[in-house]
Structure 1
């Protein structure tokens, strides 16, 4: 597969800015900014906003999200954040006293707090999995799943070090023990292929502002069909049956819009967010997730090779995601490293004991050269 050509020309990134930090927040492509502005202008002329617009924009976004996930749109809800989506999962999954919830050590907090609360409220336990040095997470997770496991709550790759979880293997073992699989895909969806039919998650959620290249404040929740008669965490008018008819909104109804729409957030019909997030997914679909992953894998491997010549260590693609690179320093991270890098317009993140480097299609060979030059000892 040929690597995707650099797309820097489609972003407003100055030539002297070396932004290698997509895992922190993706920059908006020009087409996404245009879509956000187009959506904002709708509110500028509210007399042109018709009742059907409250539904058509959200359904278009749902359709685009379904295309990148590879699942029917009826299985998807529009949510404002990962924490919102996980609250829906926690409300609808069975959990009893004495049961366990499996999570990763140092997992992102949004995929920890709801499970701590659920376990504490029901008399259960959160089991925190730790991996062996140099290993991926899969073996440790598989060892932790047993007869008392009710929920396995994981990412596809760890947000700090990028090391992978074999979700297909984990999904199989979870099902063997009757446990639910809940995924936070914020750090992988859009950059790392996932086969929902093979993994079979019960719920999966992703915020759009990282690898999905969309605005902040909107995300996607997947719900397995067996939960589509579940209980939302809020009671808003637009999710109820018949809400398309504005003249009959006070004919209160107990039924919901079909599929996962019952879980949609209130005020989901937000044109700047919906149009921006749809345009962002269109940008990714132009290339395809597999091609993006392949291209990013080549880039992170190039960075790893050059950083290795400076004495920095990193995991290979057999254990880490293609789009994530964690650089480890033999004597620990030097004090003030990220500040010194930022002074040279090299933008990366410090996570734990490693430097997280996460490039994307907008990065150039000059960005990689600037990073390596800035890491070189004085």
Structure 2
């Protein structure tokens, strides 16, 4: 439970754990006391239910294209190891989260050209960044790896326009949805990503060390980064496991992590996503917009820089410091006022959720104002 005296505006760092999610984990933990009650079906049905539920959230018609992963880096490793190209350009948004950079940098050893794309206009950062990305897509482009929003400041990337441009050159769209899926509407049917990789402990409000990955047809028939028994065809038949099987389970299930039938983490994530579907990401955007709109105007008037609403999300946004405010002074003020946000790159990252209220916003405003007034 969050403490009333502490303003936690930091879901992009890690979501708090809902009581019902915690209860699901405790219940799963206690199941190990009585292993004779864990059936063969339990190894498969709970993960299948999670795939179906997550597919509802991201508007996906094929649940077996969704697999359980332990981390974003794991999900991306399956992508990088199964690209249908031998050379060309890999485009990234500048200063992405490292898990969506390091796997691509390894491809430089194979002759790929990895190019980070940055905004050209600091005053119109979101618009110029989207334009630079669209202009960078050429017949040499093999992959664009990007988030729906930038993890450090919430800059919104226009994925449908990007998808259309990539279609013209035969490029793949690989999305890290960790900082958006669950809080910002996302449709696989409309955006048509070739891969969508998402950690579970932020906006999906689940536990650490579990996530979900969608792999489109471009990765059918690939080689998974690990070989485990449960991803093989007919692995549901425990009596026949010693008759080793060359074939994998259908669609993307070959890419699922070993021991994915996690009787603790899977029901926790399932319970969290059920709640998110009940809230609906559209409503989360509306709530966070209404919660923060007046304070954002006030902070902008005091000299803090923020992207226009058209090119940023409402659940995650960055504030850039005026010249009169030092990072150290602001950190001290935030700590003193018991306000939790993050410093990422050159931005102060604020990430509210439905559990925040006007009292939290007042604490944030007070903490952000104090260094301004102290400098005058």
Match of 1:167 in 2: 159
Structure 2 unmatched runs, 5+:
none
Q: How does 1:191-340 map to 2 (within 5 A)?
A: 191-331=183-323, 332-340=325-333
Structure 1 unmatched runs, 5+:
1-11
Residues in 2 aligned to 1:179 and 1:309: alpha-carbon distance in whole angstroms: 42
Contact 1:20 1:346 in 2 (8 A): yes
Residues in 2 aligned to 1:311 and 1:121: alpha-carbon distance in whole angstroms: 45
Match of 1:123 in 2: 111
1:310 deviates by 3.1
Contact 1:76 1:260 in 2 (8 A): yes
1:39 deviates by 1.1
Partner SS state of residue 220, structure 1: strand
Residues in 1 aligned to 2:253 and 2:140: alpha-carbon distance in whole angstroms: 32
Whether 1:370 aligns to 2:360 is: no
Match of 1:9 in 2: none
Q: How does 1:48-59 map to 2 (within 5 A)?
A: 48-59=37-48
Contact 1:208 1:220 in 2 (8 A): yes
Match of 1:70 in 2: 59
Larger displacement relative to structure 2 (139-148 or 300-309): 300-309
Whether 1:344 aligns to 2:337 is: yes
Larger displacement relative to structure 2 (363-372 or 339-348): 339-348
Count the aligned residue pairs. Answer: 365
Partner SS state of residue 245, structure 2: coil
Residues in 1 aligned to 2:35 and 2:336: alpha-carbon distance in whole angstroms: 45
C-alpha RMSD of matched pairs (Å): 1.4
Match of 1:6 in 2: none
Residues in 2 aligned to 1:77 and 1:296: alpha-carbon distance in whole angstroms: 30
Match of 1:41 in 2: 30
1:228 deviates by 2.7
Residues in 1 aligned to 2:327 and 2:247: alpha-carbon distance in whole angstroms: 58
Contact 1:304 1:325 in 2 (8 A): no
1:196 deviates by 1.6
Larger displacement relative to structure 2 (71-80 or 219-228): 219-228
Contact 1:162 1:321 in 2 (8 A): yes
Match for residue 87 of structure 1 among 77, 101, 104: 77
1:346 deviates by 0.6
Structure-2 change in CA distance of 1:89 and 1:139 (3 Å): same
Question: Which consecutive aligned stretches of 4+ in structure 1 deviate over 3 angstroms post-superposition?
Answer: none
1:263 deviates by 0.8
Whether 1:187 aligns to 2:175 is: no
Query: Any idea what the Cα deviations from partners look like across 1:32-80, whole Å, max 9, x if unmatched?
Result: 1111111111112212111111111111111111111110211111111
Contact 1:333 1:354 in 2 (8 A): no
Match for residue 29 of structure 1 among 14, 18, 23: 18
Residues in 1 aligned to 2:159 and 2:49: alpha-carbon distance in whole angstroms: 29
Query: Any idea what the Cα deviations from partners look like across 1:335-363, whole Å, max 9, x if unmatched?
Result: 24224312321101111222111100000
Match of 1:16 in 2: 5
Residues in 1 aligned to 2:280 and 2:327: alpha-carbon distance in whole angstroms: 38
Match for residue 139 of structure 1 among 114, 123, 131: 131
Contact 2:333 2:368 in 1 (8 A): no
TM-score, normalised on structure 1? 0.93
Residues in 1 aligned to 2:76 and 2:139: alpha-carbon distance in whole angstroms: 23
Larger displacement relative to structure 2 (368-377 or 214-223): 368-377
Structure-2 change in CA distance of 1:333 and 1:65 (3 Å): farther
Query: Any idea what the Cα deviations from partners look like across 1:313-352, whole Å, max 9, x if unmatched?
Result: 2112111112112112211543242243123211011112
Contact 2:69 2:210 in 1 (8 A): yes
Contact 1:333 1:353 in 2 (8 A): no
Partner SS state of residue 355, structure 1: strand
Residues in 2 aligned to 1:310 and 1:148: alpha-carbon distance in whole angstroms: 45
Residues in 1 aligned to 2:233 and 2:240: alpha-carbon distance in whole angstroms: 11
1:135 deviates by 2.1
